Structure 1
Amino acid sequence: MGCRLRTTVQVHPAVLEPAIPDLQSLQRQERENRWMDSSNYDRRHRVRNLSDLSLGDQVWITDTRSTGTVTSAHETPRFYLVSGSKGTLRRNRRNLVPMSADNSSKTLEHAAGVDPHDTSADTGQVSSEGPPGSPQTVRTRSGRTIKKPDRLDL
């Protein structure tokens, strides 16, 4: 395609002269290629920007599994200085989870009467309904009646 064939056929001497590409157009093309690669990666992997943290925010530090308080933003982008039980740490924003969002969701679950340790609602277990004297109808969580096959009627 772009490689010159080695042949014994004669060629014009001007074809054999090396040509230097235009540096500015080459740099522009490489910059555009890098930008397209970056945007395609971001779109494919659903990259999103995390919100900024402010001074004094309570955060969960994921790698040390402890809580801390944001003391200041670091001069490098996306990094924060966090004081916690293990001293002052420099952490990237992706390692810091704001505590206010976690606390509000737990408070809403507690107010609604949802037990966070109760897994029966999530696992699809069946519930039995009906008066105590009548045969019980077994239903799924969505309300569908479960009919057992006849072959299991022993």
Structure 2
Amino acid sequence: MPDRPWQRIGTDLCEHDGKQYLIVMDYFSRYIEIVHLNSITSANVIGKLKNMFARWGIPTEVVSDNGGQFASTSFREFASQYGFKHVTSSPHYPQANGQAESGVKIAKRILKQPDIFLALMAYRSTPVHATGSSPAELIMGRKMRTIIPVHPDNLEPEWPNLDLARKKDAHAKLNMRTNFNLSHGARNLTSLSVGDKVRLKTDKEKHWNDKGVVVSADYRNRSYEIQTNHGIFRRNRRHILHTGDEPWESLPTQEHVIIPPVSEPPEKCLNRNIAPDSTTPNVKHNRSIDVPTNNNSSQDTRDIPSQGYKTRSGRLVTKPKYLQDYVS
């Protein structure tokens, strides 16, 4: 939680009913701004942000995704001119800009209401569970007057207990992080160094196909720039596999089938009723087993030659390709 209101804000674009909106949320108070955009150009977005800054002041840090409106040269010049730090989340990793993503969900619910402005006032004047205070109280130091009757004394400016708000906010975030990590099986990944050889894969891709080398690292945001044959890509640590790592995702998708050795010569198993296994009660075990005619009676099925053999009935038996690849 930042030290003061409007110190760090998250911004994002959303579409509702065919219209584009700019969503801005304050990390400290959860105060939300919803602005309609006639166009989604950088110039239009910058103009709307300037209007907000004139009302609330210039924030210290603005967090956004890597959309063209925020990655343009004009937006970099805007950040330099107004003196704020522009931080972008890793591509294909919206969790890094979670506050703005949360603001988009809230904004879409507000935009569905019959009276958008009453709905917006209702959100701003309602205490947030994480802090125990309303966004209006934390950003303005006073409650808002809405259509709900309220005593005039309750509208007197009075800052809420900020220490208590910070403790409640930290507790709520810890619970959310713990629950998310447990439900998604999250684990800590080791940091990478410049020069490490890695592979890349986003959540929408199935295999670690792209190879590259780490050329820069942002350890605070767990974001890295990777030099590949296709250019330089920025990725979150979650989408990077170090060549020394051996997670289950890196294994081939085809299952490894290991044939256990038989404890008896194959010919002793012919026409013998095998006792049913408790783990496979529905499998019938009273079938005859075809075995190759081979002088070595102790040979198991893993010694099947790659060119195959013929059974006594004339059927050709060959070793499957995946067994040739993975079982010696």
The TM-score range, normalised by the shorter chain, is 0.5 to 0.7
Deviation at 1:78, TM superposition (A): 0.6
Provide the rounded CA distance (Å) in 1 between the counterparts of 2:258 and 2:270.
24
Q: 2:265 aligns with which of 130, 137, 149?
A: 130
Structure 1, unaligned runs of 5 or more: 1-15, 103-116, 140-145, 150-154
Q: 2:285 aligns with which of 144, 147, 150?
A: 147
Question: Bigger CA drift: 60-69 or 91-100?
Answer: 60-69
Provide the rounded CA distance (Å) in 2 between the counterparts of 1:80 and 1:118.
32
Q: Spell out, residue by residue over 1:7-65, the C-alpha distance to the aligned partner (whole angstroms, 9 max, x if none).
A: xxxxxxxxx56547860166246413333333333334333221101121111111482
Are residues 1:39 and 2:39 paired? Answer: no
Matches within 5 A, 1:112-123: 119-121=256-258
- 2:103 is aligned to none
- 1:79 is aligned to 223
What SS does the corresponding residue of 2:161 show, helix, strand or coil? helix
Provide the rounded CA distance (Å) in 2 between the counterparts of 1:83 and 1:42.
30
Provide the rounded CA distance (Å) in 2 between the counterparts of 1:118 and 1:75.
36
Cα RMSD, aligned residues only: 4.4
Provide the rounded CA distance (Å) in 2 between the counterparts of 1:130 and 1:60.
47
- 1:69 is aligned to 213
What SS does the corresponding residue of 1:101 show, helix, strand or coil? coil
Are residues 1:93 and 2:93 paired? Answer: no
- 2:44 is aligned to none
Provide the rounded CA distance (Å) in 2 between the counterparts of 1:85 and 1:71.
13
Q: 8 Å contact 2:273–2:286 — kept in the other structure?
A: no
Provide the rounded CA distance (Å) in 2 between the counterparts of 1:138 and 1:53.
58
Structure 2, unaligned runs of 5 or more: 1-150, 203-207, 247-253, 275-283, 288-328
Q: 1:52 aligns with which of 187, 191, 194?
A: 191
TM-score of the aligned structures, taking structure 2 as reference length: 0.28
TM-score of the aligned structures, taking structure 1 as reference length: 0.52
CA gap of 1:19–1:34, structure 2 versus 1, over 3 A, is farther
Partner amino acid for 2:165? Answer: Q
Deviation at 1:131, TM superposition (A): 5.8
Provide the rounded CA distance (Å) in 1 between the counterparts of 2:242 and 2:273.
43
Provide the rounded CA distance (Å) in 1 between the counterparts of 2:270 and 2:231.
64
Say which one has the larger Rg: 1
What SS does the corresponding residue of 1:121 show, helix, strand or coil? coil
Partner amino acid for 1:27? Answer: A
Aligned length: 118
Provide the rounded CA distance (Å) in 1 between the counterparts of 2:230 and 2:218.
18
Q: 8 Å contact 1:56–1:71 — kept in the other structure?
A: yes
Residue identity (%): 24
What SS does the corresponding residue of 1:41 show, helix, strand or coil? helix
Q: 8 Å contact 1:129–1:136 — kept in the other structure?
A: no
